[in-house]
Amino acid sequence: MTRLLSLFLVLILGLSACSGLEPVQLGPDGKPLPRPYQIRPGDTSRIQFGLLDSVNSLRSAAGRPEVQLNARLNAAAETHSRDMANQNRPWHFGSDGSSPFDRVRRAGYEGRMLGENISESYETEHQTLSAWMEDRSTRDVILDRRARDLGFGWYQESGGKIWWTLLMGG
């Protein structure tokens, strides 16, 4: 019986060592600390199409036409996100003084740029979209009746901070 119990204990300890789970870190209040949202290199399509679905659901509920992802707007959004990180400030002007209109034109987008939403956060794309929907000016960009195209890009720093950019065009 002791042999069987010892074998069982070794088996349990061995399996628990293989679990790969990181220990939960606790804050000063004894509650678990939030884990930073980490974007992996292969997540681009999942994030962009997931956000597109969410935006189109919001637009549909508001009686607006659906939008589609546009590669050129995505490129302009990604470039601006990286530039904001380099400048270490969320704002609509590039380090070279460019406006959103300039960046969209440079990316080769032939439609009309209608609006840009930006954010600096540690939040997911859906939490960021939710925050944008709570503010009238950023909500108006997302729900613009004239919009037909969406661009979405980000840059994540090594510490986890994410610089988000959403562009709407029509």
What does the buried/exposed string (b/e) look like for 156-169 if buried means 16 or more CB atoms within 10 Å of the residue's CB?
beeeeebbbbbbbb
Q: At 53, which helix (H) or strand (E)? A: helix 44-61
Residues in contact with 8: Cβ distance below 8 Å, sequence separation at least 6, in sequence order: none
Query: For the chain, what is the mean pLDDT?
Result: 88
118: helix, strand or coil: strand
pLDDT for 12 beyond 70: no
Q: What is the CATH number of domain 46-169?
A: 3.40.33.10
Supply the pLDDT for residue 10.
Answer: 44
Pairing of strands 149-156, 68-69: parallel
Model confidence pLDDT, tens digit, residues 19-59: 445 567 677 888 776 677 899 989 999 999 999 999 999 99
Distance CA 28, CA 165 (A): 34
Any idea where the domains of the chain sit in the sequence? Answer: 46-169
pLDDT for 119 beyond 60: yes
Q: Which residue, among 98, 64, 81, has the nearest Cα to 164 in the 3D structure?
A: 81
Q: Name the maximum alpha-carbon separation found in the chain.
A: 78
Supply the pLDDT for residue 153.
Answer: 98
pTM above 0.85, yes or no: no
Model confidence pLDDT, tens digit, residues 56-87: 999 999 999 999 999 999 999 999 999 999 99
pLDDT for 123 beyond 70: yes
What angle (nearest 5°) sits at the alpha carbon of residue 108, between those of residues 153 and 54? Answer: 35
